[in-house]
A and B are shown apart, each in its own frame.
Chain A
Amino acid sequence: MNKYRALTACLAFIAVNAAATSFEDVFNTNRALHGKGNHFTFEGNSYTTDHPEEIEAMAEATLDNAKALLISANKMHKKAKALGYGWTRTPAILKSAQKALNKGQYQRSMNLSAQAKYHARMGITQHNASAFDWIMFVPE
């Protein structure tokens, strides 16, 4: 009887953990495996492996769109930096995006802005994750 109880507990544990796999985990796995521009399904729905910033950069390459994306990337970077989680390469990417914008290379500017915005978003995500997971690295 105990044997069956243990087996049930074990199966319940596995089931709970399997269900706990988040969209983020599935997205990250598929992104790592297939890169951008691919598709995967999660809970019956289809999604792309593109980051939200890459989707923003798919808008029509115009002066207004390029400017808007660069402004939002700058804003996001400032936010990450204020939290102490800015990344070192982001300012150079933003600078390149501005240069491309000045030269009228709107698509290039949008791609670079998207990359910088992604860096900044990841910095903020890192800050939020660190706020609770840092303790797991402390030796006991």
Chain B
Amino acid sequence: MKTIVIAVGITLTIMANLSLAANSGDTLDTVDPEADRLALQEHMQSRFPNVPIDDYINGIYALDSGSRAQWEEIEEFPPYEFDIEEGEMLFNTPFTNGKRYADCFDNGGIGIRQNYPFWDNNAEIVITLEKAINNCRKSNGEKPLPWGKGKLAKISAYMAFTSRGNVFNITIPNESALAAYLSGKQNFFSRRGQLNMNCASCHVSGTNILIRADRPSPGLGHVTHFPVFRSKWGALGTLHRRYYGCQKTVRSTPDPMQGKRLSNLEYYQTYMSNGLVVNGPGSRK
């Protein structure tokens, strides 16, 4: 009897592994973004059953009450407040040709953060909000701004602020867009660097598990609060600046900010946050 139980156990283990590989969607034919999104939500709910999905916009503060209490105190006088004001001023300052950022965006650039990134059918690339801001500058004869921090992060923060409460609604309109999504998904789960880690090592399986004194945030809702004012930076920074830092932390040569790989990664991650609301800019450790 005992041997039968062992044999059945082994068989079930093999079958479980096979079904994992079969259903995960690693090709254009099998990938199903909506199934991925629901699976990530289910994973988080099974690990943290008392945390409502909507609260994941608050990152690690949704899971760790101690950190949350400190963060709520910080948010009473948000460190990004002046950056939003400066971002607004920059956003409304006309270019040399007299045009403004508002002329480049739907709805004058107000309340549109939830639609970024999107798939550009003509350029065949993912357009992030920061890329759209710099494209706007270039098309009006201005020099592009550096990707990681400074003026670009402030303009992006202001645009996110005007979108607070709007629900993310990222679409995948065609097969090329689906390929970009799949590439982002693969990047998220591919181990790299001398530490041999993938994004999921910290932000899926390692969420809320202490790494020295820090608890990694959940991958669900990651993008909703960017750009963020990080205490470590002492300034506002973009999502791609954070990606860059993460890759360096695992001792992997970082991908260029706003390059194809990181833009696709943002596309995948933002799709995972569909249904959650914009709450950027945020403050983090």
**Separation of A76 and B49 alpha carbons in the complex (Å):** 47
Q: Check A138 against B253 for contact (C-beta < 8 Å).
A: no
User: Within the complex, what minimum Cβ distance (angstroms) separates B107 from chain A?
Assistant: 35
Q: Check B36 against A6 for contact (C-beta < 8 Å).
A: no
Q: Check B204 against A85 for contact (C-beta < 8 Å).
A: no
User: Within the complex, what minimum Cβ distance (angstroms) separates B41 from chain A?
Assistant: 9
Residues of A within 8 A of B (CB): 2-3, 6-7, 9-10, 13, 81, 84-89, 119, 122-123, 126, 129-130, 133-140
Q: Check A6 against B4 for contact (C-beta < 8 Å).
A: yes
Count of A-B residue pairs with CB < 8 Å: 93
**Separation of A135 and B190 alpha carbons in the complex (Å):** 8
Interface size of B by CB at 8 A reads: 40
Q: A123, A129, A130: which has the most chain B beta carbons within 10 Å?
A: A130
In the complex, which residues of chain B have a beta carbon less than 8 angstroms from the beta carbon of A122? 194
DSSP class of A's interface residues: helix, strand, loop or mixed?
helix
**Separation of A137 and B43 alpha carbons in the complex (Å):** 12
Chain A's closest residue to B3 (CB) is: A7
**Separation of A86 and B204 alpha carbons in the complex (Å):** 24
Q: Check A130 against B191 for contact (C-beta < 8 Å).
A: yes
Q: Check B20 against A140 for contact (C-beta < 8 Å).
A: yes
**Separation of A139 and B159 alpha carbons in the complex (Å):** 33
Return the contact of B189 from the options A10, A123, A134 (Cβ within 8 A): A134
- For residue B42, CB closer than 8 A to chain A, the reply is yes
In the complex, which residues of chain B have a beta carbon less than 8 angstroms from the beta carbon of A89? 194, 251
Q: Mark B184-218, 1 if CB is under 8 A from A, else 0.
A: 01100111111010101100110000000000000
Q: Check B251 against A126 for contact (C-beta < 8 Å).
A: no
Chain A's closest residue to B1 (CB) is: A3
**Separation of A115 and B19 alpha carbons in the complex (Å):** 40
In the complex, which residues of chain B have a beta carbon less than 8 angstroms from the beta carbon of A134? 26, 186, 189-191, 198
Chain A's closest residue to B193 (CB) is: A87
Chain B's closest residue to A138 (CB) is: B24
In the complex, which residues of chain B have a beta carbon less than 8 angstroms from the beta carbon of A137? 189, 198, 200-201, 204-205
Which residues of chain B in 1-53 are interfacial with respect to chain A, using CB atoms and an 8 Å cutoff? 1, 3-4, 6-8, 10-11, 19-21, 23-26, 36, 39-40, 42-43
- For residue B135, CB closer than 8 A to chain A, the reply is no
- For residue B274, CB closer than 8 A to chain A, the reply is no
Q: Check A139 against B42 for contact (C-beta < 8 Å).
A: yes
In the complex, which residues of chain A have a beta carbon less than 8 angstroms from the beta carbon of B99? none
Q: Check B252 against A136 for contact (C-beta < 8 Å).
A: no
User: Within the complex, what minimum Cβ distance (angstroms) separates A81 from chain B?
Assistant: 6
**Separation of A137 and B24 alpha carbons in the complex (Å):** 9
8 residue pairs bridging A and B, Cβ less than 8 Å apart = A87-B251, A88-B194, A89-B194, A126-B192, A130-B186, A135-B26, A137-B198, A137-B201
- Contacts A85-B252, A129-B191, A139-B42 known; list 20 others, CB within 8 Å: A6-B4, A6-B7, A7-B3, A9-B7, A84-B192, A88-B248, A88-B251, A88-B253, A130-B190, A130-B192, A133-B191, A134-B198, A135-B25, A135-B26, A137-B189, A137-B200, A138-B24, A138-B25, A138-B189, A139-B39
Question: Given the interface contacts A134-B186, A134-B198, A136-B20, does A81 sit within 8 Å of B3 by beta carbon?
Answer: no
Q: Check B200 against A2 for contact (C-beta < 8 Å).
A: no
Question: Given the interface contacts A2-B4, A9-B7, A134-B190, does A81 sit within 8 Å of B198 by beta carbon?
Answer: no
- For residue B54, CB closer than 8 A to chain A, the reply is no
**Separation of A73 and B7 alpha carbons in the complex (Å):** 48
Q: Check A139 against B3 for contact (C-beta < 8 Å).
A: no
Query: What are the 6 tightest A-B residue pairs by CB atom distance, in nearest-first order?
Result: A86-B253, A139-B43, A130-B190, A6-B7, A134-B189, A135-B26
